[in-house]
């Protein structure tokens, strides 16, 4: 694994532009409360002071919370999303396991020691045998969530703890440069929330982000129009019905359609619900 880590910087393209789609969905007790879809450009430049630039080209978003049950939840920013945890080699045990493709190796890993909260990092790498490049990566940060203490929400009596945090990434190869780039990335996390000091039965909040690109990478200029260190749901862009009605990369599932219909039916009940959206 030393060679894999040593070649990480060499194997990845340091500067490129990707046209991407990103879907974010927040659920509270299995009921959707936030939907945000973004189509845009992501510029990557490792030599720059700001390694990422984001140009949002199209966006649709909506959220609906019952005011009496609102949870103060902040979505990740782009910097956080594009910086998944990577195990420290010296603090990790690696083991090769059987894989169904002779050109690649599957290496599972586990932290040698538990962290301060009693959790052990686990996951796997899929590695190209020829150039030692990581082509797939999965990592799970929590394995014993019952040991994690609750943390108080800012300016609220609510308490929460993260019970699950998983990241999955696939890297594509540019055949001309013979180097790799981020092709898709997923984040899945779960919070356990106690709404007030007296409550003993927790509410479970699940959040998922799914990023992917569908075309070859380019070196097109990115006209940055959204800070990479700002809560993604804070983005404010107009809705284009023509674009969203004609794209097929982020279809509305049955559950999402039911959520949007629920928002439409309750949009005038301002005393009961807090609704934010651009369509």
Cβ neighbourhood burial of 236 (10 Å; 0-12, 13-18, 19+): exposed
The Cα–Cα gap between 135 and 182 comes to 9
- How many other C-beta atoms lie within 10 A of the C-beta of residue 241? 9
> Dihedral of CA 121/83/20/175: which sign?
negative
Q: What are phi and psi of 9, to 5 degrees?
A: -65, -40
Per-residue pLDDT of the chain (279 residues; tens, 9 = 90+): 999 999 999 999 999 999 999 999 999 988 999 999 999 999 998 877 788 999 999 999 999 988 776 676 778 999 999 999 999 999 999 999 999 999 999 999 999 999 988 999 999 999 999 999 999 999 999 999 999 999 887 767 788 999 999 999 999 999 999 999 999 999 999 999 988 777 778 999 999 999 999 999 999 999 999 999 999 999 999 999 999 999 999 999 999 999 999 999 988 888 888 888 898
pTM confidence score: 0.93
Pairing verdict, β 122-128 and 151-152: unpaired
Note the pLDDT tens digit of each residue in 16-42. 999 999 999 999 988 999 999 999 999
Nearest to 137 by CA among 79, 185, 101, 92: 185
Check residue 135 and report its DSSP letter. E
The Cα–Cα gap between 122 and 142 comes to 8
Note the pLDDT tens digit of each residue in 69-114. 667 677 899 999 999 999 999 999 999 999 999 999 999 999 999 9
């Amino acid at each position: 694994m030393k060679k894999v880590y040593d070649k990480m910087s060499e194997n990845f393209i340091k500067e490129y532009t990707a046209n991407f789609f990103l879907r974010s969905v927040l659920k509270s007790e299995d009921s959707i409360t936030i939907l945000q879809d973004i189509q845009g450009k992501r510029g990557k430049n490792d030599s720059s002071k700001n390694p990422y630039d984001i140009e949002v080209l199209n966006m649709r978003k909506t959220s609906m919370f019952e005011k009496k049950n609102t949870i103060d939840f902040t979505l990740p920013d782009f910097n956080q999303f594009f910086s998944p945890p990577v195990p420290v080699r010296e603090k990790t045990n690696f083991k090769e396991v059987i894989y169904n493709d002779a050109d690649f190796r599957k290496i599972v890993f586990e932290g040698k020691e538990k962290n301060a909260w009693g959790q052990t990092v686990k996951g796997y790498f899929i590695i190209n045998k020829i150039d030692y490049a990581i082509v797939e990566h999965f990592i799970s940060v929590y394995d014993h969530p019952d040991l994690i203490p609750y943390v108080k929400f800012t300016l609220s009596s609510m308490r929460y703890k993260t019970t699950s945090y998983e990241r999955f990434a696939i890297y594509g190869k540019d055949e001309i440069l013979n180097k790799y780039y981020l092709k898709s990335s997923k984040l899945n996390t779960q919070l356990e929330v106690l709404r007030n000091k007296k409550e003993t039965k927790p509410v479970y909040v699940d959040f998922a982000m799914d990023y992917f690109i569908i075309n070859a990478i380019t070196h097109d200029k990115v006209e940055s129009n959204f800070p990479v260190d700002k809560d993604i749901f804070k983005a404010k862009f107009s809705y284009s019905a023509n674009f969203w009605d004609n794209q097929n990369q982020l279809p509305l599932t049955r559950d999402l359609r039911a959520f949007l219909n629920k928002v439409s039916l309750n949009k005038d009940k301002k005393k009961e619900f807090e609704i934010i959206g651009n369509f």
